[in-house]
Structure 1
Amino acid sequence: MFVSRRSRVATLAACATILLATSACGEDKPEEASAQQVRLYGTDGNMLNSYPAELKERASLVDGMKGTTPLVPLPDDFKSRLRAVNPALTDYLYSAETYDAVVIAVLAAQLAGSTDPAAIAKQIVAVTNDGQRCEDPASCLALARNGQDIEYRGVSLTRAGFTDKGEPATASYATLTFDGQQINDGKTEFVGAGIESAASTKTPPKPKKQRPGGNTDQEPLVLGGLLPKTGDLAIAYPPMAAGAALAIKEINAASGALGKPVTWLDGDDGTNPAVAKATVAKHVTDGVSVIIGAGGSGISRAVLPDVVQAGKILFSPSNTDSSLTDVEDGGLYFRTAPPDSLQGRALADVILRDGSQKIVIVARKDSYGEGLQGTVRDELEKAGIANDRLKLLTYEPPADAKAAPVDFSGGAKQIKEFGADAVLIIGFGESAQVIRGLADAGVQIRQ
């Protein structure tokens, strides 16, 4: 006989009540039988194959953990090209978004006929809307050199272009599952979000046709990386770096932009405002027009005033904080990653599909963590989860690599006392300490 999830939960609850009084249901130790098992959930910052290594000898604790990340079904050919750049690659998180950010920035410069960031910025949204459709750097650059309006559709940007705010109008999310201490691709599901009609319809400045032989007086276009080589988000660096390197390789194989090869200057954001600000300052000195990054939303928010003051472009492949949509940016901030207003709905759906009833949302204390935490809470409440069945907790992420690891013992005790059956962990590599803390507190993690 089929039994609904709600009925099954009610039956188990009734059985637990009987246990306390009579040791029924075939168990001699009622207090152990009634212990609550907790399902773990994650987000784009920790649903990576490299994440279990953060738990070292306790890596198996992640098995069964589910989560969402902005991700389209990546073509095998794209993965192969990425692995040609980095044969050791094990994850693809934000590789497509990084690739597309670099390509879009270069195409915008070609259409603008200039390396001036202000001129490039006016073409970025237009590159993705209302022109001749093209899907690779070579064909798009050929059209742009001829002064043709283009509509770029790449690896991550497939359904619709950018909104007036400079971010994707639509997105694709993947539901991922850890199995055997790695993401089980066979269990991955994809869901779309957003609406195509939100894409911009504004008319950009007229594209400039490239003169035969190019402009010999034009300086080469220089792009600078502001990606998390170090810090809490370093686990996401390899696929992002591979995406950028692949884009530059294919752009220059197609004769570059403005008649010259495009230059890439590497740079670390450190998942740390101080490190990121130093990198931005160096890029400004070195004549970078477009900065690709930062990795974390909070880091971009910290450096954006410096970038705007210098008159440069900040173009992130991985910022998802919804509040960045309306940040004061002077028209110089863009992103290929969708805002968390879309991811929050996908996460809430994943959690609710498992029948969770008492949910704790743990987040790193920054704009990314607290922003997504609030969005998921709102979506769960809209779905009928009462406020008293939700609990929000935050933790301070380590200031730098020398800082002590996150101590989540107090939070783990609260979760155990709350009787949660689901814990969503919003964080980066450091969030593994939350899982460790739960296990140390005796919370039974469902696998």
Structure 2
Amino acid sequence: MRVSRGSRVATLAACVALLFTTGACGTEQPEEPENESQQVRLYGNDGNMLNTFPLELKDRAHLVDGMKGTTPMTPLPEDFKTRLRAVDPNLRDYLYAAEAYDAVMISAFATQLAGTTDPAAIAKQIVGVTNEGQRCEDAAGCLKLARAGQDIEYRGVSLTRAGFTEAGEPATASYATLHFDDQKLNDAKTEFVGAGDDSKASTKAPPKGRKPRGDSGAPLTLGGLLPRTGALALAYPPQAAAAALAVREINAAGGVLDEPVVWIDGDDGTNPAVAKATLASHVEKNVQVIIGAGASGVSKAILPDVVAAGLVMFSPANTDASLTTIEDNGLYFRTAPPDSLQGRALADVILRDGPRKVALVARKDSYGEGLQGYVRTELERAGLGDDKVKLLTYEPPADADAPPVDFSAGAREIKEFGADAVLLIGYAESAAVIVALDEAGVQIQQ
């Protein structure tokens, strides 16, 4: 229940008078009846906590002010940001930039240690590159060790604490809590928290590194499969800039297997059909490692085709926890942490504000519903029962030409439910949910 400012002042005055006459003061405050002008706090996830997200709201961009959320992110060194901006001077966000950079670096070091561009041999080296070897932190240092056949332990921009698990994903992660003010992310309010378990990192020794022979298959060719278009296109610039930066620095350090690494750009379209067409093109061009896809659902849809082609698939942005155990023939890897970790971080952000009722609104796909489930579990663990948490989903647009999401019915449900916190688990289309809440008369707290 909300208590008006006038009620609080009157209560305080009565309390002060009571303190002087009896030496005690009660803490209970009279409650006002529920009114129609309910306010809700907005929360977001890594797919919409971006400086470009307010643009999706057009003339209602101010509605994001006060919105909070989480994203996998480590404190990025200023030097790394400067190097990224040298690639793309218009860069406004850094979402998954560190992860994209490290995915390319790890792929290069694994290839050098394998002594061949054969994807199966590269895959056998990837987990080992991040664990139990000689510590190195940049392209020049790591490649020098790898060329000598020395097992390495790469610590980069996103991998700072521990390496990969046997499943080929980070054992630990860092999350940033982000805040929108004045229609942009307020970096001064950003907080970082760690998650995961260092002991989950693999201790299995990789195959011994070997020097390249005449049949090495060089050059190493990487095929981009990043969301240049589609619902996740707002997250494309930082990933593309980071991949380009990594290739540039690897080649400046002498390349891999005595030849420059080749990058072939490609779009996943945030759409399995687009991604499959791009993958087919990459196969024809003899790509050995796919960097992508951006969306977890896209990766799940095309992974069977990747495995059939015998390629390595290395995503910087997939977080769907079900990908940890997916059948991949040992060819799928990711630098982004699974949502089982992000669920805890998001629930913590929401719970700090002491909500009475929470609505969790998610894309109707494995990523959205998966993260929604993890957040719900954490909220319930904190004491919010079924009557305090409402789950809603929506069908995401099939492509950029599809009509906007119609969430008007869901917005009315949220208003009737009396939620004072709404979590949006989605991409650019989350803007339609905010607009629907506004049009339903739900006051967004700012």
TM-score (norm 1): 0.93
For 1:237, the equivalent position in structure 2 comes to 236
CA distance in 1, matches of 2:298, 2:70: 22
2:405 aligned partner: 406
Q: Which residue of 2 aligns with 1:142?
A: 144
The 1-side partners of 2:148 and 2:369 are apart by 46
Determine if contact 2:137/2:155 at 8 Å carries over to the other structure: yes
Is the Cα contact below 8 Å between 2:346 and 2:375 reproduced in 1? yes
Partner of 1:157: 159
SS of corresponding position for 2:260? coil
Q: Which amino acid aligns with 1:37?
A: Q
- CA root-mean-square deviation: 1.5
Shift in Å, 1:219: 2.8
SS at match of 2:185: coil
Distance verdict in 2 for CA 1:85–1:186, change over 3 Å: same
Aligned equivalents of 2:216 and 2:380: distance in 1? Answer: 59
Partner of 1:15: 31
Find 2:177's aligned residue among 175, 195, 198. Answer: 175
Give the whole-Å Cα distance in 1 for the aligned partners of 2:74 and 2:206. Answer: 28
Alignment partners' CA distance in 2, 1:219 and 1:341: 38
Aligned partner of residue 32 in structure 2, secondary structure: helix
2:223 aligns with 224
* Shift of residue 209, structure 1, vs aligned partner: 3.1
Residues 316 and 337, structure 1, Cα contact 8 Å, conserved in 2? yes
Counterpart residue number, 1:24 = none
1:111 to 90, 94, 113: 113
Deviation at 1:285, TM superposition (A): 1.0
Deviation, structure 1 residue 218: 3.5
> Aligned with 2:224: secondary structure?
strand
What amino acid is the match of 1:333? Y
The 2-side partners of 1:13 and 1:201 are apart by 57
Residue in 2 that maps onto 1:304: 303
Structure 1 spans left out of the alignment, 5+ residues: 1-7, 21-30
Partner AA of 1:306 in structure 2: D
1:251 is the counterpart of 2:253? no
Partners of 1:57 and 1:40 lie apart in 2 by 18
Aligned length: 422
Q: 1:185 to 1:12 in 2, by over 3 A?
A: farther
Which letter maps to 2:170? P
Q: Which residue of 1 aligns with 2:17?
A: none
Corresponding letter in the other structure for 1:426: I
Letter in 2 for 1:373: Q
TM-fit CA distance, 1:203: 1.3
Q: TM-score, normalised by structure 2?
A: 0.93
In the alignment, what sits opposite 1:66? 68
Q: Which runs of 5+ in 2 are unaligned?
A: 1-7, 9-26
Equivalent residue number for residue 19 of structure 2: none
Give the counterpart letter for 2:405 in structure 1: V
CA distance in 1, matches of 2:132, 2:56: 45
Matches within 5 A, 1:85-104: 85-104=87-106
2:48–2:426 Cα contact (<8 Å) kept: yes
Listed one character per residue, the Cα deviations across residues 395-444 of structure 1 (whole Å, up to 9, x for unaligned) are 11111111100011000000000000000000000110000000000000
Q: Which residue matches 2:347?
A: 348
1:147–1:210 CA contact under 8 A, matched in 2: no
Among 110, 120, 124, the alignment partner of 1:122 is 124
One-letter amino acid of the counterpart of residue 305, structure 1 = P
- Letter of the 1:421 partner, please give it: D
Encode CA deviations 1:302-332: one digit per residue, 9 max, x unaligned: 0000000000011000000001100000000
Matched residues in 1 for 2:308 and 2:216: separation? 26
Deviation at 1:14, TM superposition (A): 3.9
Match of 1:27 in 2: none
* SS of aligned partner of 1:186: helix
2:190 to 188, 191, 197: 188
- In 1: Cα distance, 2:353 partner to 2:71 partner: 18
> 1:206 aligned to 2:191?
no
Match of 1:3 in 2: none
Percent identity between the two aligned chains: 73
Letter in 2 for 1:289: Q
Residues in 1 aligned to 2:410 and 2:32: alpha-carbon distance in whole angstroms = 26
User: Does the CA contact (< 8 Å) of 1:316 and 1:335 recur in 2?
Assistant: yes
Q: Is the 8 A contact 1:146 1:210 kept in 2?
A: no
Answer yes or no: is the 8 Å Cα contact 2:116–2:216 preserved in 1. Answer: no
Q: CA offsets per residue over residues 249-280 of structure 1, 9 Å max, x none? A: 00000010000000000000000000001011
CA deviations 1:187-206 (Å, max 9, x no partner) are 00000000111000111110
> Is the partner of 1:376 in helix, strand or coil?
helix
